[in-house]
């Protein structure tokens, strides 16, 4: 008879399904949970279920929220005439951390990827166009990733928005602040050259 | 108004409490859960609570089990005259993976550590001595870690067991000195079992 504790095996398997967590780490995390008070496991379990149940896409900008409209869209003090278009909900958090951006967002939930069958229909582009026609938007900041997919998506949206008289901009790409020239890759360096400003 | 989703923050915080999981990884794992079907979060939550509720120490060998007596102690085909003494429940899993060891275990749940106030009273030594007096044990294999704490614990137990006429052996070197049993591969562990010496 093998030494097999079903409930432990189950827990290890659940941890192992997480991205970047291997077998050994999964086991270590499971044993950590067993060594904690039962309330800890209960709290963790509640957080998992609550987050998954409550969090959905904002009906306006498609970012994650647990209220009907996300706090950014609901905030009347923010600049509702500027929309920053990003690929992923995580990107919104990254921008919010800067505490500099005061406009709104629109999350596409991906970028064009013909091989995976992702085209305009699979992204939240229809929702973006509806916002552009129904509200007074003056500027779209395209903040999709600097990949072939991200660039293609940005230029597609830009072609749709420009005829509506909306200014479309792209994030500046260049050397990261504090970064060393020596470690910058060719593409970043090329972009930094192209986007150079007079001082 | 800051972009703050309480249930997301809670979930990130729970992941961040796990050993070796930093802020960025915790955020990545939380977003992964949100991107999965709700059943996935529910299953993970159930696994957490079930494991924590059901798993307890075997009343005989103090290893983890979700039955009253663990499968190893309950197995009449195993060699009940040999007990392998380990520090941690994880060590039992490591030995079982070798598929070589056919005796029983005893988990001490630690090793002597005077600075942390861990002495004989804090370890499951009383339970081990009770097994030695009540059952017909012929050999104790000391498989505590090869650290100062593990060696001290092994020699303490050896001094208690020898007067009872029990052969006490120590795992052979082969396990890297200062290394943790948990990380030893199956072959090293098998070698260490085969080459055990009387102490």
Q: What is the pLDDT of residues A77-125, one digit of tens each?
A: 999 999 999 999 988 988 888 888 899 999 999 999 989 999 999 999 9
Asked if B47 and A89 come within 8 Å (Cβ–Cβ), the reply is: no
Considering chain A, what percentage of its residues have pLDDT values greater than 70? 98
Which residue in A12, A28, A51 has the most chain B C-beta atoms within 10 A of its own C-beta, making it the best mutation to test that interface?
A51
The predicted model scores a pTM of 0.77
Q: How far does B159 lie from chain A, in Å, by closest CA?
A: 30
Confidence of residue B73 (pLDDT cuts 50, 70, 90): very high
Asked if B36 and A51 come within 8 Å (Cβ–Cβ), the reply is: no
Point out the residue among B10, B36, B52 whose CB comes nearest to the CB of A34. B52
Residue A146, pLDDT score? 84
> Helix H segments across B70-124?
71-74, 89-98
Task: Match 């709290």 to its residue by tokens.
Answer: A43
In angstroms, the CA B187 to CA B199 distance is 23
Residue B199, pLDDT score? 74
Residue B145, pLDDT score? 87
Is pLDDT above 90 for B111? yes
Instruction: Give the residue with greater pLDDT, A63 vs B194.
Output: A63
**Contact between A58 and A65 (Cβ < 8 Å):** yes
List the 141-180 stretch of B: residues with Cβ below 8 A of A: none
Asked if A44 and B48 come within 8 Å (Cβ–Cβ), the reply is: yes
A145-199 pLDDT per residue, tens:
888 999 999 999 999 999 999 999 988 888 777 777 777 788 877 877 777 777 7
**Contact between B196 and B172 (Cβ < 8 Å):** yes
In angstroms, the CA B53 to CA A11 distance is 12
Measured over all CA atoms, what is the biggest interatomic distance in chain A, rounded to whole angstroms? 76
Helix or strand or coil: residue B64?
strand
Q: How far does B38 lie from chain A, in Å, by closest CA?
A: 6
In angstroms, the CA A127 to CA B89 distance is 54
- ipTM of the shown complex: 0.80
Point out the residue among A27, A38, A64 whose CB comes nearest to the CB of B52. A38
Q: How far does A163 lie from chain B, in Å, by closest CA?
A: 32
Instruction: Give the residue with greater pLDDT, B174 vs B170.
Output: B170
Name which of A119, A111, A63, A127 is nearest A91 in CA terms.
Answer: A63
Residue B198, pLDDT score? 75
Kindly report the average pLDDT of chain B as a whole number: 89
Residue B37's closest chain A neighbor by CA?
A52
Residue B181, pLDDT score? 74
Is pLDDT above 60 for B2? no
Point out the residue among A34, A53, A71 whose CB comes nearest to the CB of B55. A34
DSSP 8-state symbol, B176: P
Point out the residue among A14, A27, A93 whose CB comes nearest to the CB of B43. A14
Burial B32-62 (b: 16+ CB within 10 A, else e): bbbeeeeebbebbbbbbbbbbeebebbebbb
**Contact between B106 and B124 (Cβ < 8 Å):** yes
A30-87 pLDDT per residue, tens:
999 998 999 999 999 999 999 999 999 999 999 999 888 999 999 999 999 999 999 9
Residue A191, pLDDT score? 79
Confidence of residue B12 (pLDDT cuts 50, 70, 90): very high
For the beta sheet containing B139-142, the strands, ordered from the edge strand earlier in sequence to the opposite edge, are: B103-107, B79-86, B139-142, B167-170, B197-198
**Contact between B30 and B8 (Cβ < 8 Å):** yes
Handedness of CA A40, A46, A48, A54 (dihedral sign): negative
Q: Residue range B104-109: average pLDDT?
A: 95
**Residue A174 in tokens:** 């260049």
C-alpha distances in Å from residue B169, one per residue of A75, B94, B161: 71, 19, 11
Q: For the CA atoms of chain A, what is the radius of gyration?
A: 22
**Contact between A56 and B23 (Cβ < 8 Å):** no
As a three-state string, the secondary structure of chain A is: CCCCCHHHHHHHHHHHCCCCCCHHHHHHHHHHHHHCCHHHHHHHHHHHHHHHHHCEECCCCCCEECCCCCHHHHCCCCEEEEEEEECCHHHHHHHHHHCCCCEEEEECCCCCEHHHCECHHHCCHHHHHHHHHHCCCCEEEECCCCCHHHHHHHHHHHHHHHHHCCEEEECCCCCCCCCCHHHCCHHHHHHHHHCCCCC
Q: Given CB atoms, is A23 within the 8 Å cutoff of chain B?
A: no
Residue B173, pLDDT score? 64
Residue B1, pLDDT score? 42
Chain B neighbors of A55, CB-CB under 8 A: 5, 7-8, 34
């Amino acid at each position: 008879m093998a030494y097999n504790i079903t409930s432990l095996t189950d827990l290890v398997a659940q941890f192992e399904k997480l991205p970047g967590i291997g077998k050994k780490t999964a086991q270590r995390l499971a044993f950590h949970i067993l060594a904690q008070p039962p309330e800890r496991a209960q709290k963790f379990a509640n957080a998992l279920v609550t987050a998954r149940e409550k969090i959905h896409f904002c009906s306006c900008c498609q970012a994650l929220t647990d209220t009907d409209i996300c706090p950014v869209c609901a905030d009347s003090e923010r600049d509702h005439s500027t929309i920053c278009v990003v690929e992923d909900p995580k990107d919104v958090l990254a921008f919010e951390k800067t505490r500099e951006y005061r406009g709104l967002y629109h999350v596409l939930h991906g970028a064009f990827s013909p091989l995976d069958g992702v085209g305009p229909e699979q992204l939240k582009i229809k929702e973006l166009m509806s916002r552009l026609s129904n509200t007074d938007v003056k500027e779209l900041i395209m903040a999709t990733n600097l990949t072939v997919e991200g660039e293609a998506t940005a230029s597609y949206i830009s072609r749709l928005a420009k005829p509506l008289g909306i200014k479309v901009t792209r994030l500046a790409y260049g050397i990261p602040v504090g970064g060393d020239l020596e470690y910058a890759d060719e593409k970043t360096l090329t972009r930094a050259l192209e986007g150079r400003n007079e001082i």
